[in-house]
Structure 1
């Protein structure tokens, strides 16, 4: 900082006090998983948090984020029925092609059917279809065929959300997430369909965002092999340093909750001497604010099912829980 202008720019606040409070006090997202939603002391899925789900292959990581995504897109309540969702915009970046959209649809349909169990049969089908369509309109799936594709997606999200905020500034509107989300999705307060009479009810919570990256280390070995001495522009340090910065920006500047899954390199969930040892660069490790470790349990289950135990590595004061992955989805 050689000039006064550079010093002032460095000291300038990055957001107003009102924007900070809007971010800090935002209601947590609901995942439908008890030990994630528990106030222990606070629910895990909050704006600004980067939650990492770690486990060996087949431990149910993708099933976890499928369950979280299906619950997050649900409305809070519609037509007198409480669905206990978050009405969140959910973006899933699938890095290894294992995110099954059909399982997401089944999980979402199962949750809706459970909430409509006491509704009259002649109303149930119409209500189910309306909630189903509304919920899926908030879901986006992106397939990444390399870590650079994932970085491009994160950069595009940052640019899109920043553009919505700048648009609100130019129009003289208070820049909050509600305004930005309304402009981003093109929702019309006077429109019909699911946004019509319910737009006032939805406005308060429509701004919540959830970014999921399934298997962030899927291309680890390819990135590791791309060393500078081979002339590759993106080595593993640069790739994951950039990913850490972008995820942190989406979490802090755009008030999104971030969930990433990661496959460990060994069967003991990456533990060495009782402590978790990350194999990714330190920039990535420092960006993660919460970490869940998945391991198999001794519970007897049926054929084709998997029983596991989730333990919080960071923060250690949170309590985990048991879960079972079945053909119908995940049970906790």
Structure 2
């Protein structure tokens, strides 16, 4: 340090305490899925806290695995309900968390970005599922719900949701890099990723002075962000067959290493909860001696912090429904559960 300016630049804070707290103090995102949220887990050790705060229902509801900074991978064969699970998570996460008129939808008011690599995302099903949740919440509120609340909640919830259709793994990388730039304030996305200044917070995370619902203004929980990627390995075999010496600009190791770095940055720097699905050819693929073995490059495997394995259940269900079992691979001590995929969503 040769000058006073050098010394001042060295001791200058990289961010204020307020900005750090806004970035760090983000609650888990509720999914509404028992095997993800872990309903009932840890209640003995937290019984005293729950008794002390028994008026706060959201504390019990947001025990979940979707904690900012974590990367959850859901693995299963084709048709095991992976896309339906992501659709349910997206619907629940984007719903308004709480309102002054007594309407409680059990949502998280989260900004949600859905990257569709498989082309299986059913937009109409997502909209129908979300609308039904809103209708149920308004009906439970009864006379307390003012007229027009259903349409208002629907519009507000949909404004926080973005779908990105990926046709190659490089499209996934572009989308993640754009998210990093938008959430970091490097570019103005103009609300493309569900974060508008009118919703209580600007694209750079600073507070907005106008607009937004009462539940969003001044509430750090409204800064919850969720990134969902359906079938991260959709282009794996194509990319593997098109290595650099066959004309591809990047080999498969570099592509998945870049994806892992970008997702870890979104999870840590921007406090986003990441959920990624991955298709396998069979229920036993990757299992060796009862332990899961990933077929993706090691850089990707090291980035994943949580993993759920899906398999079919022998439970009898109605025609057109699918019954499955969710088992936690990482961490192993978490309890999984059964679920059923229906036209109305996931039933646990």
Range into which the TM-score falls when normalised by the shorter chain = 0.7 to 0.9
RMSD across aligned positions (CA):
3.0
In the TM superposition, residue 202 of structure 1 has moved relative to its aligned partner by: 6.1
In the TM superposition, residue 18 of structure 1 has moved relative to its aligned partner by: 6.6
Q: Is the 8 A contact 1:73 1:85 kept in 2?
A: yes
CA separation of 1:14/1:216 partners in 2, compared to 1, >3 Å: closer, same or farther?
A: farther
Q: 2:312, 2:146 → 1: CA distance?
A: 39
Q: 1:87, 1:154 → 2: CA distance?
A: 21
Within a 5 Å distance, the mapping from 1:1-332 to structure 2 comes to: 22-38=22-38, 40=41, 43-78=64-99, 79-120=101-142, 126-163=148-185, 182-184=201-203, 188-191=208-211, 195=212, 198=214, 201=217, 203-332=219-348
Q: Is the 8 A contact 2:69 2:271 kept in 1?
A: yes
CA separation of 1:318/1:252 partners in 2, compared to 1, >3 Å: closer, same or farther?
A: same
Q: Secondary structure at the match of 2:75?
A: strand
Structure 1: where are the runs of 5+ without partners? 1-11, 167-177
In the TM superposition, residue 22 of structure 1 has moved relative to its aligned partner by: 5.0
Q: Secondary structure at the match of 1:98?
A: coil
Aligned residues: 307
CA separation of 1:252/1:188 partners in 2, compared to 1, >3 Å: closer, same or farther?
A: closer
Q: Judge which range, 264-273 or 44-53, deviates more.
A: 264-273
In the TM superposition, residue 260 of structure 1 has moved relative to its aligned partner by: 0.4
Q: 1:217, 1:204 → 2: CA distance?
A: 34
Q: Is the 8 A contact 1:54 1:269 kept in 2?
A: no
Q: How far does the alpha carbon of each residue in 1:190-247 deviate from its partner, in whole angstroms, 9 at most, with x for none?
A: 33xxx26x26656332211000111110001111012232242211111101100000
Q: Is the 8 A contact 1:47 1:257 kept in 2?
A: yes
Q: Secondary structure at the match of 1:312?
A: strand
In the TM superposition, residue 188 of structure 1 has moved relative to its aligned partner by: 4.9
Q: 1:226, 1:296 → 2: CA distance?
A: 33
Q: 2:24, 2:15 → 1: CA distance?
A: 12
In the TM superposition, residue 118 of structure 1 has moved relative to its aligned partner by: 3.2
> What TM-score comes out, normalization by structure 1 length?
0.84
Q: Is the 8 A contact 2:207 2:218 kept in 1?
A: no
CA separation of 1:190/1:323 partners in 2, compared to 1, >3 Å: closer, same or farther?
A: same
Q: 2:148, 2:16 → 1: CA distance?
A: 44
> What TM-score comes out, normalization by structure 2 length?
0.80
Q: Secondary structure at the match of 1:184?
A: coil
Q: Secondary structure at the match of 2:73?
A: strand
Q: 1:240, 1:16 → 2: CA distance?
A: 34
